[in-house]
Every structure is written in structure tokens, then in C-alpha cells.
Chains A and B, each alone.
Chain A
Amino acid sequence: MDAVIETRGLRKVYKGMIGAGVAAVDGVDLTVATGAVFGLLGPNGAGKTTMIQMLLGNVFPTAGSAQIFGMAIGSLAVKRRIGFLPEKFQFHDFLTAEEFLHFHGRLSGMDWPDLRRRTDETLSIVGLTDRRKSRIREFSKGMQQRIGLAQAIIHNPDLVILDEPTSALDPIGRRQVRDIIGELKSRGTSVMLNSHLLSEVELSCDSLAIINKGKVIRQGTLDQLLTTRSVVEVEANDIGEETLRQIATIGSIIQSNGAHLTVGVERDEDIPAIAEAIVNTNAKLMHMSYQRESLEDFFIRTIEESGVSPSN
């Protein structure tokens, strides 16, 4: 597998006035495959933004190494091939949308004919063609985020890093961003997505890493991560002690409320075993449904298991 991003033991310690300092990123090993849409998840203060800033060369690592396209992070050769939309986006708002894209395109080293063509294209992609002569200060927050996305992709980068790209967008805007990410992926562009909107990540990403307290606690493809645990909803009459005892040997009973049971299972073959346990203990099975664990459930469970609440 070709890796677009590869980090080994990447660490960033912010030194305080006294004491040993705080490790915002603590020995992260990360591999992002070329052409993949990769999600970086974690609660607030987990170290995601520091991680991204290190990859961009804006923050210097305390230890470890990182490579993008097989080259040292922060080099001009790498920067030429990266597009970035910051989380805290504030741009030169006295520029018009067109001037803004020209400025960023020229900074990226584009020549005028290419820049003019790509300005038209990217404005169309982010749905701001009719506002090309408007000043950015006249834009809504969502429009500013869209023009920010346009500056990230105007130079046709091979890797696009998006830090909370939909935080100011309405559902239609989010859908547009999802489509843009899909379009980038279809062209072979790698995307790193840091978002709190787990449903967006679930819909857009091929693989992800969950980071907490500066460490990667889970990493893998979406399929790998979400099939490790599923939930079975059961409705049955006459559930007795024996029924519950037998089910508990198969999976973990998440909730038991009279005739309603929610059971977590690790393997697909556990599902018929639960039905068998109900029937064998003379309970009457009325309804049974199977749900794959959502990314949100998976995320919250993973963070809770790691010992820090997501609201921190």
C-alpha cells in the first residue's frame, strides 16, 4: 500500500512555565493510504489540530518523524501538493472571491491562464460563481467556509487536509462538501478530514483513526472498525433469569427492560445463538433486529473505554 502520510512516534510537547509540559500529541504512528479519504476523530483537546498543524509544517514536532509523499513535512515540494482548509478560517475579507482565489493560486505557484480557468472551475464547484465579485466580508459564515474550501483545492493538490470543513454549513452545504470530497476521491486525491460530525465522516471516509489524549487509540478502515461490535434488539415475552444468564454468555446485555433487550455481539454467528437461547429457555420471541454499531456509538464507546468523556 502506498502511503501518502506516514508518521512514526510523532510527539509534540507544549512546555509550560513550570513542570514538564503537556504532550498534545504523544507518539502517534499513522498511515494514510494514497487516494483514501481518511478521518481523524477525537474529543476536543485530543490533539487532532496539533497533529494536522505538524503535518502542514506549522508546528514543529518535539520527537518522531513524519513524511508526506515520502518527503519531509514542511518542505516546499510537499506544500506545493497540499491544500488546507483551517478550522479557524478567517481570510483577507477585503478581497473579492475572485481576487482571493487569485491570491492563493499565485501563492501556490499557478500561472495566469491556468489560474483563471481553475478560478472559474472551483467557484462553480463550491457554488459561488454568481458571487465572484463580492467581497468576502459580505459572505455568510457558510459561504466563507466554501471559499476557504475553494482556496484549498484551486491548485489541484494531491492531498487535501480539511479541518472541520462543515462546521458553518447547513445540511445542503454539508452535502455539497461531501460531494466535493467524493469528486476529489474519484480523481485520486487523498483527503484527510477532521470533523466532529461523525455522520459526515461515516459517509465520506474509507478509514479513520480515533485520537485521544494525544494517542491513537483505534485505527483502521470503517468496515474493520464497525464490524467488531453490533447490536441486537430483542422483544420477547416470559424472559426469565435463565434466559438472561444464557444470553449473557453469548453477548453483553446493554439494556434489559421487561420484554425488551439490547444485546451487544462481537460476531455474526452470535445472533442465531441468542434466538436459540430464548427459545430453549421457553421465552417467546416476538421480534428481533440487528444493527451494525454506528460510528457515533463506536466513537463514544471507544473514548469511554479509553477513560475520557467526549465532552471533555
Chain B
Amino acid sequence: MRQLLLITSITLREALRKKVWLWAFVILAGLIVIDSIVPRAFSQADRLQMMPQEERLRQGIFTAQFVGARIILFFTCIIAIVLAAGQISAEIDKGVLSSVVTKPIFRFQVVMGKWLGVVLFADVIILLCIGVNWALCSAIYGHLAGYAINWPMLGVMLLYPVLYGTLTIAFSSFGSMVMSLMLTATLYSFTFIGDTIIHIIAEITQNESLRKLEVLSDWLIPHGRLATWFGSLEQGMVPAMRREMGRRAGEHLTYTSFDQFYIFAYIIGFLLLANIVFSRRDLN
């Protein structure tokens, strides 16, 4: 365990050195802009004049939180991918790992230590950004922004970097840094297109092939399943108007226990793959 934690600590320090945490400032800048503009825009919107002022502001705050959560998730997934891509093959190529793996350490400890470092780093940034976002809204809007922290929702948010970090580490166990980035980006693009463009076109056209393509994208990478899980938890907090808008837009925010199982099985599966590949490959 000590060896594993040593690898985790060096991975965290490496992440700090690479200044990937600067992305947190990009996220926070985005949150500040959204938190200051969106709720005010809602409270001043002519089309919402039939609602009481306080309710309009509440809707605006929720929408700002909704958008903010997605900004946080998008950038922390990028952070996890960028960090994970340089962990294994790139360190073998550079020669950094050659003096580490000759120490009395199992190879799985190297993989798990690095994985833990990447995931911890990205998740700490999520927690930091959520904390700042909450503090910011409370400071600007007082009691209107006060809502109980939804722990399950927070837990699901933390799974996003876990998913992408694991996937990229697995690719990094056999491919170069560029290859790992490309493979993860390709899968991410496919699932993004599957969940948005293909989904919409399939709904409109009722085309069976497009539906199959959408399903395939959900199997290849369970981003959509995770998004549905996250969205359904978020829905519990959605003010009535936003819920109605979602229903009209045809949102299907129901997830099954199989979706949850698949997400965890997928993460564990890729983690196992990374360990198996790394334990069997030549390091020269």
C-alpha cells in the first residue's frame, strides 16, 4: 500500500507541476460570468413577467447551476484525460519509469497509484469548483441560492473524471500519449454525437439504424448512461417550470440499475485491462 501511495503522491505532484490546475481558473472564470449574468437575465426577462420576481431569480440561479455543473464536468474530464494520457507509455518512452519499476514494487501498484493520482486530482478540482460556485451564488443572491447539497448528485459528478481517467490510463498502458488522447477523444466524440445529434435525428425520423447507432455509442462509453443518472438526480431539484420545459423537450431522464451496474463494470473492466496490459508488456 505504501508503494501505491508513493506513486499516487508523485502523480499528484507531477500534475501540480504541469500546471493542469490552471484549468480550474478557467472553470471558475466561467462560473463567475454565468452566476452573475444568468440569474439577473432571468429576473429581468419580459417573457417571464407573469412569475413573481423571487421565483424568476430562483429559476435563473438554478439554470446558472445547471450550466455551471456542465462546465465543471467538461473541463475536469479534459483534465483527467490530459493527465492520464501521459502516465504510462509516455513515462516509459521518457525513461522516467525505468528506475521506478526496478524497485520492489508490483506493476499493478504503479498503475493503481497513477490512476488514483489522476482521479483524485480531477475530483478535488470538481469539489473546489462546486464549493466556490456555491459560495459565489450565496454571496450574490443570499438565501435564494441556499439549497441542500445533493450528495448522490455530487457522487455521480465525481464519477465523470473516474470514467475518462480510467479509459485513458487503459489506452496509455499500450499506446503513446497522442494515441491515448486520440482514442479517448474519438470515443468521447462518438458518444457525444450519439447522445445529441443522432438522438435528436433518430427521434424525429424514427430511423431504426440511427437508434442502433445511438445504443452502440452508449455501450462503447457509458457517458450517456452517466448523464442520464446525473440528470435524473438533478431533476429532483429542478423548479417546476424547468421540469415542465424538460418534459416538453422530450427528455427521458430515467435510468435503471443496469445503467449503474454497467458504468461501474466498465470502469473496473478498463482498470483491469490497464493492469493486465502493463503487467505483460516489455518496458524498454
Contact = CB atoms under 8 A, between A and B. Distances in A.
Contact of B95 (A56, A90, A104, A107): A90
Give the contact-size bracket for chain B: 20 to 34
A76 B106 contact: yes
A211 B17 CA distance: 42
Interface stretch (B62-70, B97-105, B159-167, B198-206): B97-105
Contact of B284 (A49, A82, A89, A91): A49
B94 A90 contact: yes
A148 B100 CA distance: 11
B210 to A, nearest CB: 37
A59 B282 contact: yes
B10 interface: yes
A194 interface: no
B102 A79 contact: yes
B104 A88 contact: no
B10 A103 contact: yes
Interface in B186-212: none
B13 interface: yes
A148 B284 contact: no
A80 B104 contact: yes
Interface string A89-126: 11110110000000110111100000000000000000
B15 to A, nearest CB: 11
A243 interface: no
A94 B280 CA distance: 30
Interface string B266-284: 0000000000000010111
A73 to B, nearest CB: 11
B14 A59 contact: no
Contacts of B282: 53, 58-60
B96 interface: yes
Contact of B96 (A82, A91, A107): A91
A86 B98 contact: yes
Contact of B103 (A50, A90, A94, A107): A107
Contacts of A86: 95, 98-99
Interface of A: 49-50, 53, 56-60, 76, 79-80, 82, 84-86, 88-92, 94-95, 103-104, 106-109, 148, 151-152
A18 to B, nearest CB: 20
Contacts of B100: 107
Contacts of B106: 76
B86 to A, nearest CB: 13
Contacts of B99: 84-86, 89, 91, 104, 148, 151-152
A92 B284 contact: no
A148 B95 CA distance: 12
Contacts of A104: 99, 103
A94 B284 contact: no
A59 B102 contact: no
A228 B106 CA distance: 46
A53 B284 CA distance: 7
B6 interface: yes
Contact of B2 (A50, A57, A58, A106): A106
A89 B13 contact: no
Contacts of A89: 95, 99
Nearest to A82: B102
B116 to A, nearest CB: 16
Nearest to A85: B99
B104 A106 contact: no
A53 B98 CA distance: 9
Contacts of B98: 58, 84, 86, 88
B283 A58 contact: yes
20 contacts: A58-B102, A59-B282, A60-B280, A60-B282, A76-B106, A79-B102, A79-B104, A80-B104, A84-B99, A86-B98, A92-B96, A103-B10, A104-B103, A107-B3, A107-B103, A107-B104, A108-B103, A148-B99, A151-B99, A152-B99
Given A88-B95, A90-B96, A103-B10, A58 B284 contact: yes
A84 B10 contact: no
Given A53-B283, A94-B17, A58 B101 contact: yes
A94 B14 contact: yes
Q: Which one of A53, A84, A89, A90 has the highest number of Cβ atoms from chain B below 10 Å of its Cβ?
A: A90
Given A92-B96, A103-B6, A50 B284 contact: yes
A84 B17 CA distance: 26
Contacts of B102: 56-58, 79, 82, 84
A115 to B, nearest CB: 12
Nearest to B283: A58
A139 to B, nearest CB: 15
A109 to B, nearest CB: 6
Nearest to A76: B104
Nearest to B102: A84
B6 A106 contact: yes
